[in-house]
Structure 1
């Protein structure tokens, strides 16, 4: 392998802006995806077609209000699963031990899970007392294609829009 080939390979993996002309715009990703399906169904060359999310937004959706009771209960539940698993493993490899390894593993798992959850929640001092998840969404989605096929793509998607309306 030559050095130039390796640099070209590395450069092709870097994120780049899409090229081409916008041929249609949609409010949702699903609509843009359906537009690309329509292009494919009409034997449109999909090489160089891109769906681009425009006006990106970071949306944080709140799942639950966190209280000490909820935090400790969730910690106990996750610790219980881990403790039960460890207890079952110990009981399989300890001859004649009965249920003692399972009970010890379960109790240790619950205690460890609660302690771990409390150590993560305590430093927030109530400033971050909710659970959430974040999503990256776009304000709208443009379908782009290369200039030589842009006019045909625009015509196909305009026909789809007329049929949908």
Structure 2
């Protein structure tokens, strides 16, 4: 017997996962599991497993102290708006002034911190980027005892509409 984290004993054959479908993108694998769910399949016995993972870092552009300050201004203004609205709720009068002050103070501090943070890198990272994990393919797996049922259901999955 195998004891999962929940502490209940399950037969070994129930803990073995079987790949019932493989997709080239996550959205298709998610669509397949959603289809199984719509057809009352016990999706708590299902997993989507991405394999052959790669870290992809897309460079968005050059990052200067000025640009870092500008980005910091935007982030600080949003945070200041949140704080201003929070304090504005409790203001008896002049709530708009409290909100505006929050935005301005947040923007100022955001600009300062953004510029300082970039300046302290001393040119070690003069670009902005976005990182993501990308898998070569996504396997939909189910517990062994449900593999045949899942395969039958997925064989009836309608083709994805063409989004061209």
TM bracket (short chain): 0.5 to 0.7
Residues 77, 38 of structure 1: CA spacing in aligned structure 2 closer, same or farther, 3 A cutoff?
Answer: closer
Counterpart Cα distance in 2 of 1:44 and 1:129: 50
Q: Is 1:164 matched up with 2:153?
A: no
- 2:20 corresponds to: 23
Could you list the per-position Cα deviations for residues 19-65 of structure 1 after superposition, in whole angstroms to 9, with x for gaps in the alignment? Answer: 41001101111111211222233333333111111122222233332
Residues 50, 124 of structure 1: CA spacing in aligned structure 2 closer, same or farther, 3 A cutoff?
Answer: same
What TM-score, normalized to structure 2? Answer: 0.62
Residues 22, 154 of structure 1: CA spacing in aligned structure 2 closer, same or farther, 3 A cutoff?
Answer: same
What is the DSSP-based 3-state SS (H/G/I as helix, E as strand, rest coil) of the residue aligned with 1:132?
A: strand
Residues 38, 125 of structure 1: CA spacing in aligned structure 2 closer, same or farther, 3 A cutoff?
Answer: same
Among residues 66, 70, 73, which one is paired with 1:69 in the alignment? 66
- Residues paired across the two proteins, number: 141
Among residues 48, 51, 56, which one is paired with 1:59 in the alignment? 56
- 1:35 corresponds to: 32
Superposition RMSD on alpha carbons, in Å? Answer: 3.8
Unmatched 5+ stretches in structure 2: 8-14
Q: Is the 8 A contact 2:64 2:118 kept in 1?
A: no
- Structure with the greater alpha carbon radius of gyration: 1
